[in-house]
Chains A and B, each alone.
Chain A
Amino acid sequence: MNASKLLPLVALSILLTACGKDTEPEQYGSDPKLPEPHRGLLPTMKIASPAAWGDKRPKVPEGYSITAIATDLKIPRQTLVLPNGDILVAEGKGGNEPKLIPKDFIAGIIKARGTSDVPSGNRLTLLRDKDGDGTYKEKTVFAENLNAPYGLALVGNQLYVADQDALLRFDYREGQTKASGPPEKITDLPSMINHHWTKSLTASPDGRFLYVGIGSNSNITERGMSAEVDRAMVWQVDAQTGAHRPYATGVRNPTALAIQPGSGQLYAVANERDEIGPNLVPDYLTALKDGGFYGWPYSYWGQNVDSRVQPQNPKLVASAIRPDYSLGSHVAALGVSFSAPEMGAKFADGAFVGEHGSWNRDVPAGYKVVFVPFSNGRPAGPPIDFVNGFMDQDGKTYGRPVGVTVDPRGALIIADDLSNTIWRVTAAKR
């Protein structure tokens, strides 16, 4: 009802965000520089302005090539490469948070300009490259009528799908192009409000457990602490019984999970809090410790207390673990996948991270896929741009990367939820 009255606010916020500067510090790795928190009367903003790719393509390193293997999808988020090379794409957009305060109306309008207006697909699409020539000519709907599916995992002949409100299981036979029946529900997942609705998923190496990432219900508890029960954590779910326990807590928004090959260690990328400055708080890649607490909401990057949370909890803050590796503030890491030697020598040991891109910065950050090099099983050295060109100098944005998946045949599959495209990056054949 008051939306029209609030339009001047929108106009003013756009005007005010046109000025101001922020520099990008070296904020990568295990010991990022953290400035003092700062927030003006308005948060700094730069919203992506969407544009069609046309003849443009994302930029890849020399010796690599990129092709669009599927277009016109309905908000592709995460992908899974099946043993026979087929690719499953989870499509959808979730969240059912009511607009609670005037800010919700305005922020909703502003942020929506930087995203696709295609409706949520709520389905899984299967892509098949029958003759192995790198073009995926077959495209079928594997399952539909899902509820914002996001996380995908295959254990033997069981396909697990994390909807925004439930963990589901399909039977899967190699070569199947369509699910043989409706899914079985393993367990409900926390879905009240669902501010951060994406339920990320991966399976333990032995397939006994599933790990489900559940994001917080707010930026920084502005919906009250009662909305945060069972949020901002990673669940360990027993695949047979559906029983769960919190595996790691205080992770604001664990948007993608992956098991490190070899070690079997669970890794996550997580999105940290906004609105305390362009260089706070870094999103991160980290190995998750069983029982570990990672700070949210009381503190960030270890023991840095966030004074916006009242009442505070010094005891819990004292136990907060510093994440392993900073990806930089506001990059919005939404995908992670460990690499394989087939990706080429330079990118063989490490993890790819899909960065959806910032809103809470004057100088946008993210909007690319980076490679975090590993050495001796740990992140080592600054991230390397693997795919960029999603946003150009004047803010025109052609795509926004989400999920990344390494295809063991030597390709990286990237879901782009702005242009509704699946990209495939391959090392050029010799």
Chain B
Amino acid sequence: MSLSEHSYVPVVLADRPYPRLIHPLHAFLLAGTLTLFLGALICDIAYFESAEVQWKNFASWLIVGGLVFGGFALLCSVIDLFRHGGGVRRPILYFLLLLAVWVLGFGDELIHAKDAWASMPESLYVSAIVALLAILATGLGLSTLRTGA
């Protein structure tokens, strides 16, 4: 339908009574991704400060968790790419952010697999980048379509 003098915003909203959010499961996966990668960063900081290797072990598992959640969130974002009127405002950017989170997160896991201090300081930098990208992806993913916003 083309915009004409007869069609204005409330009419569009009449077709779709609510601004669509991403599916709750999708939101759950996204929130988990962020939390797990953020946890990994905090553990890496603790390892960097203390050289206590248990922090690194925690980080390794949190990253695996982030990859599991992030992998499914990425799958959801792919589906949204092809769904007409998907939930996310900028679906391609959102997909690319999640993809970057996953790929860098995977690399981060490999860096963490280097024994003892061999992972430092690279793991700290990569974990920070991954956490930042996860924050951006989550912000984008959970922001709703707002009219007039």
Contacts and interface: CB of A to CB of B under 8 A. Distances in A.
B68 A39 contact: no
Contact of B110 (A42, A223, A224, A310): A42
A221 B60 contact: no
A349 to B, nearest CB: 39
Contacts of B111: 41
B115 A41 contact: no
B54 A275 contact: no
A360 to B, nearest CB: 11
B113 A220 contact: no
Contact of B53 (A2, A9, A224): A224
Nearest to B107: A41
Interface residues of B, number: 24
Contacts of B116: 218, 220-222, 308-310
Contacts of B107: 41
Nearest to A297: B116
| Most A CB within 10 A of own CB, among B52, B54, B60, B64 | B64
Contacts, number: 64
B68 A103 contact: no
B68 A221 contact: no
A39 B51 contact: no
B60 A308 contact: no
Contact of A102 (B54, B64, B71, B120): B64
Nearest to B110: A41
Interface in B17-44: none
A5 B68 contact: yes
A50 to B, nearest CB: 25
A307 interface: yes
Interface in B83-125: 106-107, 109-118, 120
Interface of B: 51-54, 57, 60-61, 64, 67-68, 71, 106-107, 109-118, 120
8 contacts: A218-B116, A220-B115, A221-B115, A221-B116, A222-B115, A223-B53, A224-B54, A310-B120
